[in-house]
Chains A and B, each alone.
Chain A
Amino acid sequence: MDFLAPTTWADALAAKAEQPDAVPVAGGTDVMVEINFDRRRPRALLDLTRVPELSEWGRTDDGRIRLGAGVTYSRIIAELRDELPGLAMAARTVGSPQIRNRGTVGGNLGAASPAGDSHPPLLACDAVVEVASVRGSREVPAAEFYTGPKRNALAPDELIAAVLIPRATGPQQFCKIGTRNAMVIAVAAFAIALQPQRKAIGTGIGSAAPTPRTAPDAAVFLAGEIDAAGLWESRGPLPEGLAVEFGRKVRDAASPIDDVRGSAAYRLHSLSVMARRAATWAWDDFRSEDRRAA
């Protein structure tokens, strides 16, 4: 086995082009488990922790955060909770402090587990994954990035450079069901992002389909009903029936399986409850924002 440790992005891309079967390693919290348990014996490991720009984030001119693939969950929680509240909430639920100190969103995308906690907020926020190779770079919307269970849209010579995530323009929520508060892989997860300026709502479902996915019908329904009732302007309370119906529609967007962590029926039920609550909490946040501003 080789250990490749490029110190520049150009060298990292060149190494990946030369050895497409080299396995990138950022925080190692997925890769090393597989190696320790002999589930994977790659020809080479491609260490990305010495490429400085991967662990940086910045603001773009068009109101987005460009989050380097190697920024850890701990830093997202500490540094980006105001601008990316949904992703920061999800990051807080990942593993344990030690895992959050190493695990990265780039690694979560690389692993592309349907249960990865970054995915629902990335979907809800219309995030775009910036991938690159020696051939150039391209942008893949998160919704198109997940192509199957633990499969993603990366070509063999490509690496994830960053994720472009619009800064929050309204309240966001993330809910996750598991057996305890720490160290759990989600049985089901849900994220919501209110986008009041566009009168739109973003959604993301985790652990309840072969890939993370959005609930577009539910989102259009809720945003439309809120608009029809003039609630974006009046900021009146969200009718209970509307939240319940939203939960049902989110549930209908999922297609979960039975597995050791939970049954499909439980996943569907919990999704409808989480979606109802997340919508209500986000809406209540939206209302209290107005009161604070007043």
Chain B
Amino acid sequence: MRIQLTVNGTRHDVDDVWPGESLLYALRERMGLPGAKNACEQGECGSCTVYLEGVPVCACLVPAGQAHGREVTTVEGLAPEGSGDETALHPVQQAFLEKGAVQCGFCTPGLIVSTHDLLQRNPDPSDPEIREALAGNLCRCTGYEKIMDAVRAAAEALR
């Protein structure tokens, strides 16, 4: 089947989508957007987190057909556009980099999207609020202390 959706502000027409296919697969394999990662395919790890209509979801659990006609934002769409600088980062991404919150980086795109969402809703989160907001994102190498540092730093940078 064919689906049409807007990803990071750009309209995509995607053909040959299998009806049982996930949005994650369609993004990575059909639209050339490998930012969201595929780790567990069962909603446990959060590495596939994207915004669907402004709400963070696990893309691995969204049937691609449900995204038809809807708006998706992936980690690729967070950095500021139009600066002419291809390496420009969003303050959340910058903070993860500076605080050493990235090792293998597999969990990072999901954590960036979840942190981005948290700080939009709550510019000054307490530590328990950060932990709660990131409870659906697993990291198997960095350890969560650096990630906490990064979220606190991003919050400060954005305030």
Contacts and interface: CB of A to CB of B under 8 A. Distances in A.
Interface of A: 1-3, 5, 25, 27-29, 31-33, 35-37, 41-42, 44-45, 47, 49, 74, 95-99, 101-102, 181-183
Given A5-B65, A28-B62, A33-B61, A96 B136 contact: yes
Interface in B60-76: 60-63, 65-66, 68
Contact of B41 (A3, A27, A36, A45): A36
A95 B136 contact: yes
Nearest to B133: A97
B55 interface: yes
A182 B136 contact: yes
Contacts of B42: 33, 36-37
A29 B43 contact: yes
Given A42-B20, A45-B63, 13 more contacts: A1-B20, A3-B63, A32-B22, A32-B63, A33-B61, A47-B63, A47-B65, A97-B133, A97-B135, A101-B55, A102-B61, A182-B136, A183-B135
Contacts of B58: 29, 98-99, 102
A37 B41 contact: yes
B65 A35 contact: no
Q: Which of A44, A47, A97, A98 has the most CB of B within 10 A?
A: A98
B49 interface: yes
B102 interface: no
B23 to A, nearest CB: 9
Nearest to B46: A98
Contacts of B49: 98
A25 B65 CA distance: 11
Contact of A182 (B18, B55, B135): B135
B1 interface: yes
Nearest to B114: A97
B56 interface: yes
Nearest to B56: A98
Contacts of A3: 1, 19, 63, 65
B57 interface: yes
Nearest to B59: A98
A95 B58 CA distance: 12
Q: Which of B19, B22, B44, B133 has the most CB of A within 10 A?
A: B19
A5 B18 contact: no
Contacts of B63: 3, 25, 28, 31-32, 35, 45, 47
Nearest to A74: B55
Given A45-B65, A47-B63, A36 B57 contact: no
A97 B116 CA distance: 13
B41 A101 contact: no
Contact of A35 (B20, B57, B136): B20
A41 B133 contact: no
Contact of A183 (B18, B57, B114, B136): B136
Nearest to A43: B19
Nearest to A1: B19
Contacts of B57: 98, 101-102
Nearest to A42: B20
Contact of A36 (B19, B22, B56): B22
